[in-house]
Amino acid sequence: MNPFFPLFKRELLEFKKHAFPTVLLWVLMPIVIHTFLAIPLSRIITMDIRYLNWSAGGIWITTAGMTAFLQSAGRMRKIQFESKQIESLLKSPISNLDLIIINIVRGMMYGLSQFIVAILITSTLNHEYMSIGSILIIFIQMLTLILHFSVLGTLMGMLVSNGILFVNISFLLFLGITMGFGNFIPLKYYPPSFFSIINFIPTTAAFENIRSVILHNPFSLPGFFLTLLGTIFIGIITLIISHKIFRKI
């Protein structure tokens, strides 16, 4: 029997137990960020395009990215450190690779669901209507970013056992996504020295791609592929570290 099916079945049962609070959180996160971050900044930042429409991309990235990260990291931490399920799982036919893949897919499913809810909410709040082509490009780029954050979350969940340290890392990641990569404050407002540093991070180009679609600007394929390559690299590192930690492949 394929080891993925029992794991998927368990994750489905887990979701059913917490379906209402999970869906409620998916709805509230975009509204909270829109209300307490985007609207106040819209009174300060002036742009050629309406700021609230432009910042919708930041809301999609922040909510979906953080959801994918927290779900994959939280699940991995629970398996390895909190419930000690890793010992029983690794006595079964499930390999390290199986466990990592199912954890990444889980994070992606939650992140993708959050993105769909977020784009519906921001489109409703901002009275914004996009073409099917624009939505398709945004969906493909967001899928890459959600995969990136899910892989990153799996790695962090594997390495960070201390709960307080994990909360701090998650908070810093949230600050970085919202304030450090131009998702809510245009990059032209940042010092040139800071811009030159973050420009070397592949996800910066991926974030810019989302904003470019909103502004009807050209889509950067190098940014897309660099993010994908960076995600693959992190995934390989995760697999190598899992072999050292779990001692099974």
Calculate the CA dihedral of residues 82, 85, 87, 92 and round it to 10 degrees: -170
Residue 193 above 60 pLDDT? yes
Alpha helices in the chain (DSSP H): 4-17, 19-33, 39-42, 51-54, 56-77, 85-90, 96-126, 132-159, 163-175, 192-198, 202-214, 221-246
pLDDT (tens digit, 9 = 90+) per residue, 101-147?
989 999 999 999 999 999 999 999 998 888 888 899 999 999 999 99
Residue 74 above 80 pLDDT? yes
Are the C-beta atoms of residues 153 and 174 closer than 8 Å to each other? no
Which long-range CB contacts under 8 A does 188-192 form with residues at least 24 apart?
189/45
**What would the mean pLDDT of 187-194 be, rounded to a whole number?**
87
pLDDT at residue 43 in the model:
93
Confidence tier at 177 by pLDDT (50, 70, 90): very high
Q: How far apart are CA 106 and CA 108, in angstroms?
A: 5
Region of 182 (left: φ > 0; alpha: ψ -120 to 50; beta: rest) is: left
200 three-class SS: coil
| Burial class of residue 138 (count of CB atoms within 10 Å of its CB; 0-12, 13-18, 19+) | buried
CB atoms within 10 A of CB 216: 10
DSSP state of 1: -
pLDDT (tens digit, 9 = 90+) per residue, 55-66?
999 999 999 999
pLDDT at residue 219 in the model:
80
pLDDT at residue 90 in the model:
63
User: Could you state, in order of their start, the residue ranges of all structural domains in the chain?
Assistant: 20-246
Q: Side chain identity at 74, as an amino acid letter?
A: G
Residue 247 above 60 pLDDT? no
How does the average pLDDT of the chain come out, rounded?
88
Tokens of 111: 């992140």
Are the C-beta atoms of residues 228 and 144 closer than 8 Å to each other? yes
**What would the mean pLDDT of 217-232 be, rounded to a whole number?**
87
pLDDT (tens digit, 9 = 90+) per residue, 2-13?
556 666 777 778
Q: Side chain identity at 11, as an amino acid letter?
A: E
pTM of the model: 0.91
pLDDT at residue 85 in the model:
66
Q: 37-56: buried (b, 16+ CB within 10 Å) or exposed (e) per residue? A: bbeeebeeeeeeeebbbbbb
Please compute, for residue 172, the number of CA atoms within 13 A of its CA located in the half-sphere on the CB side. Answer: 6
DSSP state of 184: S
Top pLDDT among 16 and 107 is at 107
Cα distances (angstroms) measured from residue 238 to each of 37, 85, 94, 244: 34, 19, 16, 10
pLDDT at residue 249 in the model:
41
